[in-house]
Structure 1
Amino acid sequence: MGIKMGAALLVAGIAGLANSFPAHAGPLEDRVKAGEPIRIGFTNGPIYAFLDDQGQPKGFVNTIALDLLKSMGITKIQPVPTEWSGMIPGLQAGRYDIITGGMSILGSRCKNISFSEPIAKTGDAFLVPAGNPKGIHNYKDIAAKNAAFVTYSGANLIEAAKKEGVADEQITQVPSGTEVVAAVRSGRADAGGMTYFEVKNVADESKGELEATSPNDLPEWTQNYVGLGFRSEDADFMARFNEALKKYIGTPEMIEAVRPYGLTEVNLPRSTTTEWACSNR
């Protein structure tokens, strides 16, 4: 093989290899300067983030994100619904630019992505059949009664359940909240774990078939702080986002915007920082 022919084949091979992978979108700042839409990734679920009947992003996390981006002069948004377990891998792979799915700031997640400063404080709860026949109120009840527990893959409740003594074989992981509800409704699970807002919304719409436990029945350390997820290489953009958040969090404008989703002043993160949450959750 001649040198020229070998070089040509090498170039062609490199080009072919490059074309076999999706092009990296580049840092968020570059997308903004190029006039490209900001892609927000989230799982369709009540309260936190979902698409409405017109395909518009709704939910309190999307609402806060869109308000803040607008204040930064950014209005071109592309929603990218995905499964819960795919949010962090999707962000890392560049399939979207910001996670707006209501993700709690946990130490294990802080090792993989960066989080904005907290936007809300939330708790978890269990979805159980009406009357709570097995008397399940917390993780220790699940462990002691050898109950079947279901939650979605990648949820913070998995870590919490194991820490409280629930065995692996008692835990079923499913793709989303829809499957959590189906498992409890069908009797395949005795309790389904989700955020309190999700559980209450499902229970309220179940016409008395299901009910929600109280988030106060779970340990205080399971109270979590929600942030928006960014790639580490977008630190400059996230810093600008946090500056806008600082001016917005807790304002009458914000409280009015999220009120339709059940959030009030009691859900404000107060003085809690992402640094603290990464170290203590």
Structure 2
Amino acid sequence: MKNILAAIAAAAALIAGVAHTHADELTDRAAAGKPIRIGFAHEIPWAYPGDKNEPLGFANAIAVGVLKSMGYTNIEPVVTEWGGLIPGVQAGRFDVITGGMYITGARCKNVSFAEPMGKFGDSFIVKKGNPKGIQTYQDIKQKGATMVTVSGYVNVDAALKEGVPESKIIQVPSPTEVLAAVRAGRADVGAGDDFAMKQLAASAPQEIEATDTAALPDWTNNWVAVAFRKEDKDFLKAYNEAQAKYLGTPEMLEAVGKFQYTKAQLPGDAKTEWACANR
């Protein structure tokens, strides 16, 4: 009997050891006290680096708040171009994309999104007075206008879906170049999320204005979440549980308030599984 009990105990220990070694890489990394590396681009007010490279913006504020509620304070920011976020997390250059990324079906094939942190719409920037009267993608198509947006933004697919010719879409690395293209007349309209477009318009109020986000159809509204490697399933599950407790709390709303996020942007009942299938 003693031999049998000893064998059972040994088997249990072996199983526990195997279970531990099969924990995902990010869970093991965090448990070992290594920094959790968050990747984001320079996207005001979503996510951007401060003077000392600290992670600013409401998407970073939410992600960092959730991670801290999980007990993780060793957080390392990694700044890259927008187009390098998904390849970067896949290659292990950082662990989490916190850049305020829309959940789309195409992206869901490459990364695993947490549950949504917010719901957001898009808009355009145009020359002051909106000389071509552009409010929608159909306006861009019908008026033969040229659109500029950031490479990797969902606005490229949205414009193509609405029939805007690919030859009329300019893709650039950052929002700064979107503004520059519209100001210089190389493009008639710049496209992006409503926050970013209002920010660009505010930076050049004598020349540029933002269009009304409500003019675009409802299907252009999107849900945002942080994203992980497909392999980091355990950490994703724990993150979702922590985010559910943190989202919408007074602490969270205070942290994001200075970055223009309000209760109106809370995601409601939408789930990532739905967004992956419908966006």
Rounded Cα–Cα distance in structure 2 between residues aligned with 1:274 and 1:258: 22
Cα RMSD (Å): 0.9
Rounded Cα–Cα distance in structure 2 between residues aligned with 1:133 and 1:261: 31
Give the equivalent residue in structure 2 for 1:23: none
Q: 1:155 Cα shift?
A: 0.6
1:155-179 deviation line (CA, Å, top 9, x unaligned): 1111111111101000011111111
1:212-248 deviation line (CA, Å, top 9, x unaligned): 0011111100100000010011010010000011001
1:164-196 deviation line (CA, Å, top 9, x unaligned): 110100001111111111111111000001110
> Which one of 241, 252, 255 corresponds to residue 254 of structure 1?
252
Q: What letter corresponds to residue 178 of structure 1 in structure 2?
A: T
Q: What letter corresponds to residue 209 of structure 2 in structure 1?
A: E
Q: Give yes or no for the alignment of 1:164 onto 2:162.
A: yes
Equivalent residues, number? 256
**Structure 2: which 5+ residue stretches go unaligned?**
1-23
> Which one of 28, 31, 38 corresponds to residue 30 of structure 1?
28
Rounded Cα–Cα distance in structure 2 between residues aligned with 1:51 and 1:146: 37
Query: Which aligned pairs between 1:1-281 and structure 2 lie closer than 5 A?
Result: 27-281=25-279
Give the equivalent residue in structure 1 for 2:3: none
Q: 1:109 Cα shift?
A: 0.6
Give the secondary structure class of the aligned counterpart of 1:192: strand
1:10-58 deviation line (CA, Å, top 9, x unaligned): xxxxxxxxxxxxxxxx711111122111111111121100011122110
Q: 1:205 Cα shift?
A: 2.3
Q: What letter corresponds to residue 32 of structure 2 in structure 1?
A: A
Q: What letter corresponds to residue 134 of structure 2 in structure 1?
A: I
Rounded Cα–Cα distance in structure 2 between residues aligned with 1:175 and 1:257: 29
Rounded Cα–Cα distance in structure 1 between residues aligned with 2:140 and 2:131: 13
Rounded Cα–Cα distance in structure 1 between residues aligned with 2:93 and 2:52: 22
Q: What letter corresponds to residue 55 of structure 1 in structure 2?
A: N
Rounded Cα–Cα distance in structure 2 between residues aligned with 1:251 and 1:221: 28
Off by >3 Å, runs of 4+ in structure 1? none
Q: What letter corresponds to residue 143 of structure 2 in structure 1?
A: K
1:87-110 deviation line (CA, Å, top 9, x unaligned): 111111111100011100001110
Q: What letter corresponds to residue 108 of structure 2 in structure 1?
A: C
Sequence identity, in percent? 55
TM-score (norm 2): 0.90
Rounded Cα–Cα distance in structure 2 between residues aligned with 1:102 and 1:92: 17
Give the secondary structure class of the aligned counterpart of 2:258: helix
Rounded Cα–Cα distance in structure 2 between residues aligned with 1:259 and 1:33: 31
Q: What letter corresponds to residue 113 of structure 1 in structure 2?
A: V
